[in-house]
C-alpha cells in the first residue's frame, strides 16, 4: 500500500503538495523530452553511456527471459536488455510521461524490436502487471522523481519472479566530500546554463540538480530496498558516487 499522504513533499528544493509532484515532474519531462538524449551526452560528457553499460552487465539476463524497464524514458536500458533476451524474450518499457514514452517506443521499433517489446504508460508506484512475471526489473534515473519511493520499490519488487533482480541506477552522493564544492558549482551553474542553451529550459535542469541533492543516499536507499522485501541488497558507486547502482533480489 502507498504510504499515507503526508500533505507535502519536495520538488527539488521546493515544498509542494503531495498530490502535485507527479504533475510538476511531468511538466519537466514534457519540456525536455525532445532534447533529453542530447542533454544526457552533454551534461555527463558521455559518461551516462558507461553507467548504463555497467547496469546492463549486472542484469544476468538470458535468451528467452522477461525484463521490465520502469521509468525507462527514451529506452536506453530497454534496448540493451532486448539484445540480451533475444527474439524469444520480452522487454516491457514503462514511463509515466507520454512524451518520453513515445520517443522510447519509436526507438525500439526503429531498432527492429516491435515483436519482442511492449510499451506501457504506467506509474512506478502501482505497476499494472501481474505479480512475479519478470526476471529483471530496472529503473534508471527515475526513482528520485517518484513521489512515494517506498511504494515504488514495493511495486517493482512484486513484479519479480523468485530469483529475479531489481536494479536501481540513480544519481547519488559523492564518496569524496572534498569534491562537493566543485560538483555543486557544476550542478547549479553549468547544468542550468546548458539547459537554457540547448533545450531552452534552465529551470528543468536546476530541478535536476536539486532532485539529486534530495534523493536518499546510498545507505538509506539500501535500507529502503530491504524494507521493500528485497534480499541480498548491495550497491556499487560509479564515478566516485556521482551515481550508484543498487541491486536486490527476490528469493
Query: Average pLDDT, whole number, for the chain?
Result: 94
> Is-contact 73 98, C-beta < 8 A?
no
Spell out the domain ranges in the chain.
Answer: 34-172+215-249
What pLDDT, on the 0 to 100 scale, is given for residue 1?
Answer: 42
- Whole-angstrom distance, CA of residue 22 vs CA of residue 114: 29
What pLDDT, on the 0 to 100 scale, is given for residue 53?
Answer: 98
> Is-contact 99 121, C-beta < 8 A?
no
Classify 34-172+215-249 by CATH class: alpha beta
Q: If residue 175 lies in a helix (H) or strand (E), which one and from where to where?
A: none
pLDDT band at 34 (very low <50, low <70, confident <90, very high): confident
Starting from the edge strand earliest in sequence, which strands make up the sheet with 243-249, in order? Answer: 117-121, 90-95, 66-70, 134-140, 160-171, 243-249, 231-238
Q: Is the pLDDT of residue 2 over 50?
A: no
What pLDDT, on the 0 to 100 scale, is given for residue 77?
Answer: 98
Report the predicted TM-score, pTM, of the whole model to 2 decimal places. Answer: 0.93
What pLDDT, on the 0 to 100 scale, is given for residue 65?
Answer: 98
Amino acid at each position: 500500500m502507498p504510504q499515507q499522504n503526508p500533505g507535502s513533499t519536495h520538488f527539488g528544493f521546493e515544498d509542494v503538495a503531495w498530490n502535485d509532484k507527479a504533475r510538476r515532474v511531468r511538466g519537466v519531462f514534457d519540456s525536455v523530452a525532445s532534447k533529453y538524449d542530447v542533454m544526457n551526452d552533454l551534461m555527463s560528457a558521455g559518461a551516462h553511456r558507461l553507467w548504463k553499460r555497467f547496469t546492463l552487465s549486472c542484469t544476468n539476463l538470458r535468451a528467452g527471459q522477461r525484463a521490465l524497464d520502469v521509468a525507462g524514458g527514451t529506452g536506453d536500458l530497454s534496448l540493451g536488455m532486448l539484445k540480451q533476451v533475444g527474439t524469444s524474450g520480452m522487454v516491457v518499457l514503462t514511463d509515466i510521461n507520454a512524451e518520453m514514452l513515445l520517443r522510447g517506443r519509436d526507438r525500439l521499433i526503429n531498432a527492429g524490436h516491435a515483436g519482442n517489446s511492449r510499451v506501457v504508460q504506467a506509474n512506478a508506484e502501482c505497476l499494472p502487471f501481474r505479480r512475479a512475471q519478470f526476471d529483471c526489473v530496472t529503473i534508471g534515473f527515475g526513482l528520485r522523481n517518484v513521489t512515494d519511493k517506498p511504494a515504488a520499490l514495493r511495486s517493482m519488487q512484486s513484479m519479480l519472479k523468485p530469483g529475479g533482480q531489481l536494479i536501481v541506477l540513480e544519481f547519488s552522493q559523492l564518496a569524496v566530500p572534498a569534491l562537493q564544492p566543485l560538483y555543486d558549482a557544476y550542478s547549479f551553474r553549468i547544468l542550468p546554463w546548458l539547459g537554457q542553451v540547448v533545450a531552452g529550459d534552465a529551470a528543468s535542469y536546476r530541478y535536476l540538480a536539486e532532485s539529486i541533492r534530495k534523493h536518499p543516499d546510498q545507505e538509506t536507499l539500501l535500507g529502503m530496498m530491504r524494507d521493500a522485501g528485497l534480499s541480498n541488497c548491495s550497491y556499487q558507486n560509479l564515478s566516485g558516487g556521482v551515481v550508484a547502482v543498487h541491486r536486490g533480489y527476490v528469493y
